[in-house]
Structure 1
C-alpha cells in the first residue's frame, strides 16, 4: 500500500500527470467544482431538518410559513445538488473520452515515426500495455478521481463550516476522532513502507519460480527431478508468506485502529458525551446538539473515500508515466518538403558508416562498400559480427551514428519513408503478419493492388495453392481461420515484397526457421523474384551465397574481407577458415542465383 502523499511528494510525477492531462485539465477542474458544489447542496437538507426540529420542539409544535420555506429550500437544494453532481460526472466522462482519443491518436502518430529498430527491442505486450491497459487505467483518474475528490471535499468542507458556525468548541471535540484517524493512518503507512521492498521482492521471486517451473516441465518430466523443481517453488512461496505476514501484521492493526476511530458510532459517541457535558455546564441547549448528531458522523464516509481513491491515483500515476515515456520516444527524422530528394537509379553506397547502441557499445565501424544495380552482394561472418545491423541500417530501422548511406546518390535521410520502401523490399528472418486477411497482408505495401496482382504475387512466392486450401481462401484471417506455419508465413511476406516490386531486395536469413520442404519452396520463390534486382543477402551458410557477385566478410563490426568466393578462399583468411571449418551446412541449391 502506497502512501497517499506519494504523488504530491514527487515533482516528476506531478509533471508527468500534468502533461498527460493537459488537453482536459480545465474540464476536470470544472467537473470537480460542479461535484463539490453539488455535494454541498445535497447536505443542505440535513441543516434544514435540524432547523425545523429545533423550531418545532422549541415552539411547542407550531408550524410557521418559515418552516415551509426551509423545507422547500432543502428539497430544491437536494435536486439542484444532484443535478450538479450529474453534470460534473458527465463532463468528466466526456473529458475522459476526449483524452483517450487524444492519447491513442498521439501514440499512434508517434509510433508511426519511431525507428523500426525500436520495435525489435521491445515486446509487443509492453507497447500494448501502454496503448490499451494504461490508458484504460487513466480512466479511473479522469472520469472518477476528480469528481469523487470534489464530492468528498465539498461534503467535508461544508460540514465543517456548518459545525463551526453552530458551536466551534463542540466542533473541535467532534473532529478529534478524525485527528486520531490520521495519526494511525500515518503509522500504518510507515509500517507498510518498511516491509514493501521485501513484499515486492517476494512477489517477483514467485513469478520467476512459476515461469521457470512451467518452462522446465518437459525437462522435469524427462529427467525425473520434479522434487527439486517443486522445492524451488515451495521455497519462494514460503518466503513470500513470511514477507506478506511482516507486511500486513503492523498494517492491519494500525488500519483497524484508524477505521475504528472514525466509525460513525465512534464519532456519535464522542459528540453525545461532549454534548451532554456542554449541556450540563450550561454552555449549549439540548436542541443545539442535534446538528452535530446529524452531521458529524457523516464526515466518516467522505474521508474514507478520499483515502481509498488515492490507490486509483497511484495506479494512474504509474500508467501516466508509461504513457508519457511512450509519447517521448525519439522519432526517426523525416526530410522536410525542401530537403526531400528522389533517387536517381538504384545504386547503394555505404560511406564510412558507423553505428552503436551507445558510446561504449559500437556495433559497426567504418563500413564502406557499393551495391551495383542488378548484382548480388552477400554479407557473412561469425554470429554477433553486425550483419543484421548492417541490413537494418539500409532499411532505416535506425540511422548511422557516423557516415551515410545513399540510394541513387541521395542520403536515405533525405528520402521520404514511403518512397524508400517502394524502392527497397525486404524479407527478414522474423515474419510479421497483421491480424487481417491474407489478401490484406500481401497488399500491405500496395493497398490499391488488384486481386489478380495479389494472386500473381502469391504464385511467385509459391504460396498461392496453400492459400486456396484455407477455409475462405484469400479472405481467411491470419490467426483465426488462416493457421500458417513459419515457412508459409515467410512465403506470404515474400509475396508482399513481390507485389511492391522494388528494385532493391534485402534477404536476412529468410530460410533460417523453415523446415526442409518450406526451405525449398522459399528458395525457388526468391530465385524467381531476385532476377534483375539488386540483392543484399545476409547469410550464415556460406554455400548458399557462394555464387554471389561479391561477398563481404564482417567481423567485430568491420568489413575484413571483400571479393568473390574463389578469391576469398585463395586468400586463406577468415572466410576460408569458416568455409573449411564447416560451420555452415552444405546445400547444393543456393538461396539466390546470381543475376
Structure 2
C-alpha cells in the first residue's frame, strides 16, 4: 500500500484530511523555496529577540548594584547595553519585515500562478462542464479558497516560526539565568498542553466535516434563492425552505455538539496562561529565590517578562494550526479544479504535428454518435446518424428530454462523443482549430455579459469596426432600440440598463451575424421571449440563417414546416429523417405535429384575447 492510499478502516473525514495535506504540499511546491527563506529569516529574528532581554537584565543589574553600594551608575556600561538593545531590536524588526516581504511576494506569485493555471485549464474543459454548480465552485476557488491559502503562505511561515522559535530562544536564556527561574517561566504550559491535547482530539476530521456541512448549507441556500420564482409560482416555498432549514439545523447541531465541550476545555486551558497566574507563579517563586539569595531581582524581572510571551506564542501557534486545517481543504478543492479533464485542443495538435484541418465545405455528418453524461448509465445520444447538408436547414424534433439539445452541443463541441464522430467537411470537429469561427449558436439563454452592448456584440470578433457592429445590430432588428438607450452601444448591461428577453436574444443574434460562422445552431431561440418580440426575432433569424448550414431545435409548427430536413429524435435515437410531408406518415412525428398545432392554436387564441 502506498503512503497516499488510505489505511483500512480510515474514516472519510480522515481520508479527506490526508488528501488535503497532500494537495497543500503539491500546491505550495512552486514557492517552497521562498517559504523556507521566510522561515529562516523568522528564526534569525527570533534568536535576536533574546538580546534585548539580556540587555535589560544587565542594565537592571548595573542599576541595582549602584543602588546597593551607593556608588555612581556606570554610564558607559549602561550606554553600551542600550545601544546593543536598540540595535538588535531594530535589526530584528528589519529581518522580520524582510521575512514577511518574502512570503507575501511568494503569496502573490502563487496566486498569479493558480489563477493563470485555472484560466488555462478551464479554457480547455468542455463547455457542458460549466453548470451552475461548477461555476459556483470556480467562484469559490478564485475568491474564497485562494484567500484561505493566503494566510498559510503570507503569514504562517513567519508568524508560526517566530511563535515557536522566539519563546524557545527566550526560555533557553531563562534557563541560562537560573534553571529554577526557567522552570517557573514554563510552569503552567504543561497544564495548557494537556487540556489542548484533549480539546484537539479529532480536530482534522471535524474540520473536514464542518467544511462539508457548510458547503451543503451554501448549496441549499443557493438552490432556494435562485429558484425562488419557480418555487413561489408552484407554491413550494415551504418545501424548498425546509431543505435549507434542515441543512442549517444539521450544521447547528453538529457545530454545537463539537464546540460546547471544546469551549469548556479551552476556557480551562486559557486560564492556565492567564497573565495574573503567570505573574503570581513567576514573581512569587522568584521572590522566594531572591529572599534565599539564589537569584537577583533583575533575574526575576527578566524571566517574568519572558514568561508573559508564552500566551502570545500559544495563540499564534493555535491560529497557525487552524489555518493549516482550513488551507488543506481549500488546496484540495483548487487541486481538483486544476485537474478537471479537458478537451484535446486542436490548435496544440496542429502545432505539434505541423498539420492543418480546415474544412473544405460545411456538410456536417453525425456518424453513429453515442454520448452519456457522467454518472449516467443511459446514453443521452444513442448511435445517432444523420447529415446536415451545406446551405440547408435541418430541424431536430422530439419530445422533451429526447436528446435534441445534447446533439446540438456535440456539434458545438461543448463536449466530445463517447463513440462515433461529428465531422464538418469530412474533418472531425475536434480536429478543427478555431472551431467557433466555423460554428455559431444562438441558444435559449443569450448569455450576455455585464459589459457594454458594443463589446457583447463583438465578443466573438473583438477586432470588428463600429460600422460592422452597427450593421450586425441593424440586421438583427435591434439597432434602433440600442440607439435609444442612455449611452447607445456604450451602454453597460446591468449597470446602465436592463434588457427584455427579446432584446437580449436579438443582441445574441447580432453577435452571431458579426462572427459570420457558416454553420449555425439555433436552440429554441424564441422559446423564452414574449409574443411581441417573436416577430422581430423571427425576422432577425431569417437574415441569420441565409446561406448557412443550420441545425434548428424548435417546436413551433410554422418553423418546422419551412425547413429542408426534419430529424425525429426519441430517447437519444434517430427515429426518422425526411421532409415535413414525408414525415407526416410517421406516427411519432404525426403525434408531435398535432400536439404542436394544438398548442400553437391555443396560444394564438390566448394572445388574441389579450
| TM class by smaller structure | 0.7 to 0.9
Give the aligned partner of residue 291 of structure 1.
302
State the 1:428 CA deviation: 0.9
1:312-340 C-alpha deviation (Å, 9 max, x unpaired): 33333333222222211112101312243
SS at match of 1:384: coil
CA contact (8 A) 1:156 1:303 kept: no
Is structure 2 residue 404 aligned with structure 1 residue 387? yes
Give the aligned partner of residue 34 of structure 1.
41
SS at match of 2:176: helix
User: Compared with structure 1, are the counterparts of its residues 349 and 363 closer, same or farther at alpha carbon in structure 2 (3 Å cutoff)?
Assistant: same
1:93-126 C-alpha deviation (Å, 9 max, x unpaired): 2222222222222211222121111113645433
State the 1:252 CA deviation: 2.0
Is structure 2 residue 528 aligned with structure 1 residue 513? yes
Tell me whether 528-537 or 187-196 shows the greater mean CA deviation: 187-196
Of residues 149, 155, 161, the one that matches 1:144 is 155
Give the aligned partner of residue 90 of structure 2.
79
Tell me whether 42-51 or 59-68 shows the greater mean CA deviation: 59-68
Residues 453-492 of structure 1 correspond to what in structure 2 (within 5 A)?
Answer: 453-492=468-507
State the 1:63 CA deviation: 2.0
Q: Which runs of 5+ in 1 are unaligned?
A: 1-5, 590-595
User: Compared with structure 1, are the counterparts of its residues 145 and 274 closer, same or farther at alpha carbon in structure 2 (3 Å cutoff)?
Assistant: same
User: Compared with structure 1, are the counterparts of its residues 584 and 176 closer, same or farther at alpha carbon in structure 2 (3 Å cutoff)?
Assistant: farther
CA contact (8 A) 1:42 1:82 kept: no
Of residues 440, 445, 449, the one that matches 2:460 is 445
CA contact (8 A) 2:195 2:266 kept: yes
Give the aligned partner of residue 370 of structure 2.
354
CA contact (8 A) 2:14 2:204 kept: no
Residues 88-103 of structure 1 correspond to what in structure 2 (within 5 A)?
Answer: 88-103=99-114
Give the aligned partner of residue 253 of structure 1.
264
Of residues 575, 580, 594, the one that matches 1:580 is 594
State the 1:533 CA deviation: 1.3
Q: What is the number of equivalent residue pairs in this alignment?
A: 580
Residues 319-334 of structure 1 correspond to what in structure 2 (within 5 A)?
Answer: 319-334=330-345
State the 1:465 CA deviation: 0.9
1:538-558 C-alpha deviation (Å, 9 max, x unpaired): 123354212322111111111
Within 1, Cα distance between the matches of 2:204 and 2:503? Answer: 53
CA contact (8 A) 2:363 2:390 kept: yes
1:405-431 C-alpha deviation (Å, 9 max, x unpaired): 111111112111x2x111111111121
SS at match of 1:553: strand
Residues 35-184 of structure 1 correspond to what in structure 2 (within 5 A)?
Answer: 35-58=42-65, 60=69, 62-63=73-74, 65-120=76-131, 122=133, 124-184=135-195
Give the aligned partner of residue 384 of structure 2.
367
Within 2, Cα distance between the matches of 1:56 and 1:555? Answer: 98
SS at match of 2:585: helix
CA contact (8 A) 1:562 1:568 kept: yes
Within 2, Cα distance between the matches of 1:194 and 1:588? Answer: 59
Within 1, Cα distance between the matches of 2:271 and 2:595? Answer: 78
SS at match of 1:362: coil
CA contact (8 A) 1:507 1:538 kept: yes
1:455-477 C-alpha deviation (Å, 9 max, x unpaired): 11111111111101111111111
Tell me whether 494-503 or 580-589 shows the greater mean CA deviation: 580-589
User: Compared with structure 1, are the counterparts of its residues 136 and 238 closer, same or farther at alpha carbon in structure 2 (3 Å cutoff)?
Assistant: closer
User: Compared with structure 1, are the counterparts of its residues 45 and 200 closer, same or farther at alpha carbon in structure 2 (3 Å cutoff)?
Assistant: same
Tell me whether 178-187 or 501-510 shows the greater mean CA deviation: 178-187
Q: Which runs of 5+ in 2 are unaligned?
A: 1-12, 604-610
CA contact (8 A) 1:406 1:412 kept: yes
State the 1:239 CA deviation: 7.8
Give the aligned partner of residue 186 of structure 1.
197
CA contact (8 A) 1:206 1:237 kept: no
1:192-219 C-alpha deviation (Å, 9 max, x unpaired): 8999869986996799589759977998
CA contact (8 A) 2:17 2:329 kept: no
Within 2, Cα distance between the matches of 1:8 and 1:386? Answer: 38
1:154-202 C-alpha deviation (Å, 9 max, x unpaired): 2122112212323334423432311111221233334989998699869
Give the aligned partner of residue 405 of structure 1.
422
Tell me whether 272-281 or 494-503 shows the greater mean CA deviation: 272-281
User: Compared with structure 1, are the counterparts of its residues 531 and 357 closer, same or farther at alpha carbon in structure 2 (3 Å cutoff)?
Assistant: same
User: Compared with structure 1, are the counterparts of its residues 109 and 215 closer, same or farther at alpha carbon in structure 2 (3 Å cutoff)?
Assistant: closer
SS at match of 1:403: strand
User: Compared with structure 1, are the counterparts of its residues 299 and 357 closer, same or farther at alpha carbon in structure 2 (3 Å cutoff)?
Assistant: same
State the 1:488 CA deviation: 0.9
CA RMSD of aligned residues (A): 3.6
CA contact (8 A) 2:14 2:205 kept: no
User: Compared with structure 1, are the counterparts of its residues 493 and 195 closer, same or farther at alpha carbon in structure 2 (3 Å cutoff)?
Assistant: closer
SS at match of 1:505: strand
CA contact (8 A) 1:137 1:316 kept: yes
Tell me whether 33-42 or 437-446 shows the greater mean CA deviation: 33-42
Give the aligned partner of residue 526 of structure 1.
541
Within 1, Cα distance between the matches of 2:238 and 2:41? Answer: 62
State the 1:242 CA deviation: 6.4
CA contact (8 A) 1:442 1:454 kept: yes
TM-score with structure 2 setting the length: 0.85
CA contact (8 A) 2:17 2:205 kept: no
Within 2, Cα distance between the matches of 1:344 and 1:218? Answer: 47
